[in-house]
Structures are given as C-alpha cells and as structure tokens.
Structure 1
C-alpha cells in the first residue's frame, strides 16, 4: 500500500475504520434455485408484470457498474453507484466527518447539497467564495488550500462546471490542490455537467491522486433524472469505505435496467446528439439574452444552463412565469441578488423564454 493510499484511509472517521456495515442477504449469496433467505414475498404483486419486483436488487449491480466504468474510463472497483450524486455527497460527509469536530469547505455560490449534508452531519462549514473576475466567476484555489489547512477541513467540494456559475476548473490546478492537501483532505469534484463542457473529465488524471473523488450522474446529459443513478469515482479503498456506510439496496432494479439501456451504443449516440444541440442552443441563447433590454450580464457557461443578471430580476422572473416558463431564482444566493439561472431547453422553449424577456425577434 503506498503512502498516498495510507493518507486517504487515515482521513476516514476513526470509529468507522473497522466498521463492517450491514451485510444484506443478497450480498452474502445470490446462488440457488429457491431463495428463502431474505424474507421476500413468495408470490409477486398483481401489479408486477414480470414478478421481478418481489426480489431485492443487487447492492451494486455489476453489469451497470461495468458499463459506467467503461463510460467514464475507470476500473469498476473505483466506482460506487448511488442514488444520484446527492447520496455520494452525503456518504462522503458521514464517512469522513466526525459530528461537531470535522469541517467541510465549499466555494459559493454553488450547489446547496454540500452545505446541507454538512449541517445534517453537524460538520463545521467553511466558505471561500468564488471571485468575479473579467466577467466570470473563478475559484481561488490558493485561498481554498490555505483555509482547508487552517481549518483542518476533511472535505473540499468543488463543482466543475460550476452550478450556478457554469465555469470549469483547470485539471492541473485541481490536481495541484489535491497534492497540497494530501493527507489532510479529500478534494471532491462534482462533474454533473461535464458532458456539456469543452474540458475533459478529471476521472483519468485523478487515478494517480488518491485523495481526489469525482462525482458523475446520469441525471443531466443522459436525461435520467428520475432514475436517480449517480456515482462516486475514487481510490478503491475510499469506494469500499463508502459502500460500508451505504444503505443495503441503493439501486432499484428498474432504475438499473433503464440505466443499462441508456448506455447502449444507439442510446449513447442519441445522447451525444442531444448534448450537441444543447451546446449549440447555449451559444445562441447567450447571444440573444445579451441583447434583451433588462439583462445586465450573461456569464460564460460550460453547462446546460446560463446565469444572467437583470436590472429587475423579480420582474423578469414574473414575466417568464406569466408565460408559463419556470426558471431558477438565484437571488437568495450570495453574490447573486439580481440573477436568474435559465436551463437550456428545446429551440422552441428557448424562443419562448427569449420572447417573454423582450427578445421577440428571437423566434424568427
């Protein structure tokens, strides 16, 4: 075992290092013709067409795990499937942060679940706000490193592309940050929107850096938000530690089957075409928004949304709502008191939003 791996395991809560977790009946054995080991129903529910729902699913469905590992370019033992990225965030905080003692660091404005999970675990929360420079939001990774070391943070959450800012982080800079925090903290990079970006994923380059965790999801680019399939990609020992803290059956059978179907070559080809349309529409909508009379600034985005500042964000929000269009009101977030986040929809949906904001000729 190398020193980096030793450092990562040392970050785990000391009271969980020998924790075996719950061993379900399905995890102990799946062999045999007659299964009477899990107290499952002997007969299927009348609404269950093929009778499969009376059985508990595999804790980590291996065909799906292998397919996701192939998609993301990692070995299966480095990948843990969970209920979207949200479960991975929660597992990381619970496994590595002792309540009332350990700390989590975030860079707002950012996805709110990092702070929510920290609060639920009673972990101390420290913030290093994004800096607005040259019309974009940027993470100050040097300051993040300093604060993480000063406050003994166990987890540093980064989002790339950022939500709601839309910017991407330099892979080299993130790896340098992780190297500087080796033995002190895990650097968790949330790549929920990476399929829409020009930048590559960190998965491959992070394989040699044991304290980097990458979060991926099928919710966004693959259009499977309701299936709740996400994963954490990390050092195999970190994955095993998280698995011991996970619920016995985290992946519903129907969701796993749908995800597998979505990873076939024809489905992936269709997903690629949909992503290309989003990227094209993102550029078109950004240019049109910049000419709307109430828009002060549109931020560059590598995700499937745009963040925009308005002279009167409340009025813009209400105009959109009156047209039946719901966008995300960001005014309660730090530094975004005049901002809305607009997801890129179909061309027709985007035209409707632009028309509601006063750019009527966008539909022509």
Structure 2
C-alpha cells in the first residue's frame, strides 16, 4: 500500500494517518449525478449506477397505491419485517433508512470510534460523513497493481471502525466474504457497504445474512437495481444494540410511506427473482462492455469486475470525458476518489446497443484527444 505518483496518488497508506489535510485534492461530495445534472442536451447516462428502465410498472403501481395513506405518519413495521424475512434475520437486527447514504451519517454520529478507517478507493460518502461528525479518518489505500484487492493485514490493528464496499464502488471488485469477515474483532465495528450486492448473480460473497460476525454492520440500498434513487430507501443489518444506537440519532419518521411500500414490495419472492434475472443480464452486458473496451489499446479495464459498472484507466481521461459529453455520453470522473487520479473513469453497464454506440464515441474521442 504505497504511493503511486503516476496515478496522482497522495503518499498515504494504512500506517500513515494523514489528518486534516487529507481531503485536499479529492471532492468527497462529488457523485455521478453531477455529470448529468443540468446538461444542456440529452446525454446517454453512463455516470449513474442506476439500472435503466426502472422502476418497473408493478413497483410504480405499489408506490402509487401508497399515496392514499399520506395523511398518516409512516409505519415501518411491515417493511422492516419484510427485510428481516428476506435475509432470514430477526426484525430487531434491521433498520430502515432514507437510502444507504443516511446510514453513513447515523454511523458517524452513533459509533464512538477513536480510530475510524475507510478503505479506498470506494464510495466517498462514508469518509465525508465521518469528517462532518468530527472524526479524524485514516485511509487504507488499495493499489491498482494488486487489483485493488484487500490484503488481510492492510487494516491497522487499532482501527475500531472499518468501512469497506463490496462490490466496491468504483473499482467493481468483489472481495471474498471470508476476507471481510476476518476483519472483525472485539471492540471493532465492521461496516460493509453492499449497496450493489443485489446486482451480483447469486449475491455471492455477501455477509448480509450473517449473524455470527461480531460488530458487523451491512448496508443495503434498493435504489440501484430498482431505480429508486429519487425515493431514498435502504437499510442497515446489524446487532440489536447497534440498531438501537443508530435509531437514537435518527430523526422521527425518516422513511416516507411510499419508500416503505417500495421496500416491502422489493422483498417479495417475485421481486427477488426479478432482481436475480436482472443481475444475470447485467453480468452479460458487463462482459460485452469489457470485450469492446479491450479493442481500444489505450484503455485498461480494472477487473475482474463484479458490479454494474467498470473502472477504466486511459490517458487524457479529463479531456476525453469532456469530448464524450460533446458526443452525447456522460461518464463518471475518477479523480474524486482517494487512491485514483486524473487518468480514471467509471462507466455504468448498459445494454449492448448502448455499449456499441459508446465504444464508437470513445474511440473517436481518444483519436481526437491523443492526436
């Protein structure tokens, strides 16, 4: 875990607790939606990792039906029970949240960590929430040469709060469940962000159903697979004492009635079967994207990828990203993720026809920028 000057990476690793100056150079609040917000022209969106063609009609109907009950305060018991049944856990181990992002804020406020560690590159909101709550955050930076994979000894022993994504955004790396479970120890809270796990066929390497890992907190989101980013619905799976601590810092009625209806609907057997089919399609579409990108010698794909997105490295990425907008495509810049630099882009997986159009545009942009 060393510095990589060629990638624009700052010199910090698991043993170097860079403190107040650490956010410098990284916009931790930049997310994929910024790439398409306010665009003058319609862009084909490869920047946001929400499945296209969603939410499905049956889910929209369930959400619409809930509107008749808006005069009443939200009652999350049925949705909480549905999530618990979905994972084979007691309801006291479930907390519903306004998207997984809210859970990071609750954890930052409720967990009295002295040495919080965030494993990067990953979704930046956990670190931003911890810093906003007054924590000094240490970073473990995984390296491209290791495939952005976690070595068991990378996390310092003194870490009492560890946050890691699986599969990780933006690298699309799927870490073995046993490796992550091995990070657990007495006095440590282990947070595994599984926001994209339902896009992995079979949800292999998930820890969501585990109740035997001490200090484990698993976060899930329903916004990616089901197209509910605007509704904000996710949940936390953890030990009952942790759930109680998070509830204490959560505002009253944090999840709306329509979001609760969506959560309950997305946990039914038919919905889970539909999500499983979507995950298989995504895997096939991702393989096609990787094959087409391999035709471009200037592009290096981080892999093997497991999420509904891929991370690529190519020269002049910032200029190419701008040119791609002119050609009608939005992609996610990579330089806002600690551990990456200006040569990285993240691409959401789309259908084969969209990928074929995109690769033509990317080849054109590469030719123009590198000429």
TM-score (normalizing by structure 1): 0.76
CA displacement 1:147-199 (0-9 Å, x = unmatched): xx1xxx431101111111111222222222103xx12x201001111123352
CA 50–75 in structure 1, closer or farther in 2 if over 3 Å, else same = closer
Cα displacement (A) at 1:51: 5.0
Structure 2 residue aligned with 1:279: 283
Matched, 1:269 2:280: no
Cα displacement (A) at 1:340: 0.3
Q: Tell me how far apart the structure 1 counterparts of residues 322 and 227 of structure 2 sit (CA, whole Å).
A: 27
Cα displacement (A) at 1:103: 3.1
Cα displacement (A) at 1:350: 1.9
Matched, 1:94 2:97: no
Q: Tell me how far apart the structure 2 counterparts of residues 68 and 296 of structure 1 sit (CA, whole Å).
A: 39
Matched, 1:112 2:124: yes
Cα displacement (A) at 1:357: 1.1
Structure 1 residue aligned with 2:224: 220
Q: Tell me how far apart the structure 1 counterparts of residues 292 and 167 of structure 2 sit (CA, whole Å).
A: 22
SS in 1 for 2:181: helix
Q: Tell me how far apart the structure 1 counterparts of residues 320 and 67 of structure 2 sit (CA, whole Å).
A: 49
Matched, 1:335 2:335: no
Deviates more, 1:329-338 or 1:251-260: 329-338
Q: In 2, are the aligned partners of 1:97 and 1:123 still within 8 Å (CA)? A: no
Structure 1 residue aligned with 2:193: 190
Q: Tell me how far apart the structure 1 counterparts of residues 66 and 250 of structure 2 sit (CA, whole Å).
A: 29
SS in 2 for 1:301: coil
Q: In 1, are the aligned partners of 2:163 and 2:190 still within 8 Å (CA)? A: yes
TM-score (normalizing by structure 2): 0.75
CA 285–118 in structure 1, closer or farther in 2 if over 3 Å, else same = same
CA 354–79 in structure 1, closer or farther in 2 if over 3 Å, else same = same
Q: Tell me how far apart the structure 2 counterparts of residues 49 and 57 of structure 1 sit (CA, whole Å).
A: 10
Q: Tell me how far apart the structure 1 counterparts of residues 223 and 67 of structure 2 sit (CA, whole Å).
A: 26
Q: Tell me how far apart the structure 2 counterparts of residues 331 and 340 of structure 1 sit (CA, whole Å).
A: 8
Cα displacement (A) at 1:50: 6.2
Q: In 2, are the aligned partners of 1:299 and 1:308 still within 8 Å (CA)? A: no
Q: 1:167 aligns with which of 169, 173, 176?
A: 173
CA 249–137 in structure 1, closer or farther in 2 if over 3 Å, else same = same
Cα displacement (A) at 1:143: 2.5
Compare CA radii of gyration and give the structure with the larger one.
Answer: 1
Structure 1 residue aligned with 2:15: none
CA 317–154 in structure 1, closer or farther in 2 if over 3 Å, else same = same
CA 175–310 in structure 1, closer or farther in 2 if over 3 Å, else same = same
RMSD across aligned C-alpha pairs, in angstroms?
2.2
Q: 1:178 aligns with which of 181, 184, 187?
A: 184
Unaligned runs of 5+ in 2: 1-64, 366-371
Q: Tell me how far apart the structure 1 counterparts of residues 111 and 359 of structure 2 sit (CA, whole Å).
A: 45
Q: 2:71 aligns with which of 50, 54, 78?
A: 54
Aligned residues, how many? 298
Matched, 1:356 2:361: yes
SS in 2 for 1:177: coil
Unaligned runs of 5+ in 1: 1-47
Q: In 1, are the aligned partners of 2:199 and 2:276 still within 8 Å (CA)? A: no
Structure 2 residue aligned with 1:250: 254
CA displacement 1:276-317 (0-9 Å, x = unmatched): 211100011011112124313443211000000012212321
CA 145–173 in structure 1, closer or farther in 2 if over 3 Å, else same = farther
CA displacement 1:23-50 (0-9 Å, x = unmatched): xxxxxxxxxxxxxxxxxxxxxxxxx996
